[in-house]
Structure 1
Amino acid sequence: MALLLYELRRIGMASTCRRLAERTVPRVALEDPDGVSWLLDELRQAGFQDLVEAVLARDPVAEAVLDTVRPAMMLLWSLEYLGRMDLVRRLALRDLPYVVPDDAEYTASFLDVVARVGDAQDVMRFAERVVEEVEVSHVPRLGFLARSLWDHHAPGPLARLADRAVAGATPRTSSSFLDLLRMLRAYELDAHVDALIERIAEHPQLADPVTHTNLLRELRAAAETEAADRLEAIAPRNALSPTNPTNPTTETTTPPAPRGHRPYGLETNGVPALPWTWRDLDRPHAAPPQPRHTGAATTDADPWDSWHRYADN
């Protein structure tokens, strides 16, 4: 409904927009916090302040169903913009134990609201729960939550959040590793910085020389020379050789010689493969070409000579 009101207002049909809003407000469902937030914003921007008050009079907080933190924040922001801090406080504190922190950035915003309308115990109770549940793989969003925890003086939850982030770090996503390293330094989590570098140094992915090189290059480009120096001292000792996967430190075969005049490659016994054409498939009973050698190549004869002889016949 909010989208329809927006479109009517956008094309200048103010009277139609007003009539539709008057019919909608008394009976529109208020369970979806995201939809209620959008409806309040559209009514406010259209100048229908009386209809905004009519929606608020229906007590959207009592009907709103908050599952995850993002739609909860949409409604909280709308109510806060309207100056209804009483409704903001009711909504935030009512769902404090239940709202799912599925997004670290919106979880940080929810924590900020709790700090504005609640007390220190409310902040700590919410912080201790969400640092155990929030997804830590997206480090840029995680930075919002870390900053909120720092601002609201929650060092214990902040350290626990850092523990989980360090435990999930990998060297292959060098940008995430670098973001996490900077975040830990920004909030003076020096012990976690050391733990992060040690984890990356021992991670199996660092055995890949390409991963090792890319990570060092990213760190030096970001002026993280200390971390780069510590990781550079750790050679990728466990890198597997494609020719001898059971003994990664030794090579058991030599690289193949250049193909040269053997554009069709080699047979399994090392003999240069003879060329063929699609016409050969149409002549299944034709005389086959001269048989290939069955042992290792012992002659210097050019395989093209036998092909030309077969083609001439």
Structure 2
Amino acid sequence: MTALATRAATLADLTNTNGVSHLLRAFVWVKEAKAMLLERDPAAHADLTDPGAVASLLEALGDHRARLLERDPAAHVDVTNPGAVARLLEGLRQAGAGQAVATLLERNPAAHADLTRPDRVAFLLDKLQQAGAGQAVATLLERNPAAHADLTDLDGVVSLLIRLRESGAEEALAARAAANADLTDLRKVARLLEALKSLDAEEAVAALAARAAADSDLTDPGAVAWLLKQLREADTNEAVAVLLHRDPAANVDLTDPDGVVWLLKQLRATGAEEAVAALAARAAANADLTDPGAVGRLLKALREGRTEQVAAVLVTRLENAGRLPQHFAPHGREPNSQQSPPWKWHDLFSGA
């Protein structure tokens, strides 16, 4: 380890800003190698193009960052990546480099940042607000990030909605996301619904709920359960009815017993007893038995409510698969599935 660290410290390309940062962190327990690397003055050679990499090096250098700040990285970094600029802005503020912060803001990253990644735009808005850069925030909002956000990144959309709400500018993104958001990942759709509900965006909630209930894929039981939960909690009764009419109990995949358990719980909470019975029967007869823990949780769920009789079907399947040997201890099981009568070892050899 020490020999490899020493070799890396001696030969590392100092223009690879991210690579040097990773090495400095890796050398935290190899002080000799870290000292060798710092002696080569990586701050003097680091490429200053990527603000995220510069921020990483600034943090990794710790008390040795003065040399890097002397090179005025804020004047050289690319300001089109909002997430990376936000990282550097935060790093400079934590380093107490007020002049560098001012230099970075003077380059007006808010006017040049790419607006397609909603998570990164949200991060930049957050860091600009923390830095008290009100004019930069206003500039960024004037560029209408809601109109440019990529709607396939639903978690990013949620983050941007929250940040825009602080400036009262969330309505346009809420409407656009509700009408056009990608419905592939129902868990993310459910989180978006939850966020819209928390923002009191009633029209957007209704629009997204209608789309999700009518058009979403019903394969993943856990994802369907999350969607059903959010639809119910958002009081979108019509959307709940549409989703139930599509019969998720008959369509969800049964290879995920935990997902089935979650869906059973949400169907019960919705009062969809027929769907509960149908899903319980399917799961008891066809659920995957590979994961004993998950199957145990499914068995417990089936024994609750009005599906306790269905649980016997699953128990029989488990017995047939040899998963419940304790049911036939200590003498075993007969071909007709009944418990064997008591026997002793010498009985097996009598008459042999």
Q: Matched residues in 2 for 1:226 and 1:150: separation?
A: 19
Residues 10 and 159 (structure 1), Cα distance of their counterparts in 2 relative to 1, 3 Å cut: same
Higher share in helix: 2
Count of matched residue positions in the alignment of Structure 1 and Structure 2: 229
In 1: Cα distance, 2:68 partner to 2:141 partner: 32
2:273 is aligned with what amino acid?
Answer: D
Structure 2, gaps ≥5 residues long: 1-47, 283-352
Alignment of 1:180-199 (within 5 A): 180-199=227-246
Mapping of residues 10-89 of structure 1, within 5 Å:
10-11=60-61, 12-20=63-71, 22=72, 24-89=73-138
1:104 aligns with 2:148: no
Q: Distance in 1 between matches of 2:273 and 2:256?
A: 12
Residue type matched to 1:7 in 2? L
Aligned residues of 1:171 and 1:215 also touching (Cα < 8 A): no
The CA distance in 2 between the partners of 1:216 and 1:57, in whole Å, is 55
The residue number in structure 2 matching 1:254 is none
**Per the alignment, in what secondary structure is the counterpart of residue 117 of structure 1?**
coil
Normalising by structure 1, report the TM-score: 0.63
Checking the alignment, whether the CA contact within 8 Å between 1:43 and 1:52 is kept in structure 2 is yes
Q: Summarize the Cα distance change of 1:214–1:36 in structure 2 as closer, same or farther, 3 Å threshold.
A: closer
The 3 A distance-change label for structure 1 pair 69 and 164 is same
1:93–1:223 Cα change, 3 Å: same
Native 8 Å contact 1:104 1:142 kept in 2? yes
Identity %: 23
Q: Aligned with 1:224: secondary structure?
A: helix
* 1:100-153 Cα shifts (integer Å, max 9, x gaps): 2232222123223333324xxx54333221212222232333334223322333
Judged with a 3 Å threshold, the aligned counterparts in structure 2 of structure 1 residues 216 and 58 are, in CA distance, closer, same or farther, namely closer
The 5-angstrom pairing of residues 1-313 of structure 1 reads 1=48, 2-11=52-61, 12-20=63-71, 22=72, 24-95=73-144, 96-118=146-168, 122-201=169-248, 205=251, 210=254, 217-221=261-265, 224=268, 226=270, 229-232=273-276, 234=278
Please tell me the root mean square deviation across aligned C-alpha atoms, in Å: 3.1
**Secondary structure, in 3 states, of the residue corresponding to 2:148?**
coil
Three-state SS of the structure 2 residue aligned to 1:67 is coil
Structure 1 residues 127 and 214 mapped into 2: Cα distance closer, same or farther (>3 Å)?
Answer: closer
Q: Secondary structure in 2 aligned to 1:31?
A: coil
Please say if residues 25 and 54 of structure 1, whose CA atoms lie closer than 8 Å, have aligned partners that are also in contact: yes
Q: TM-score, normalised by structure 2?
A: 0.56
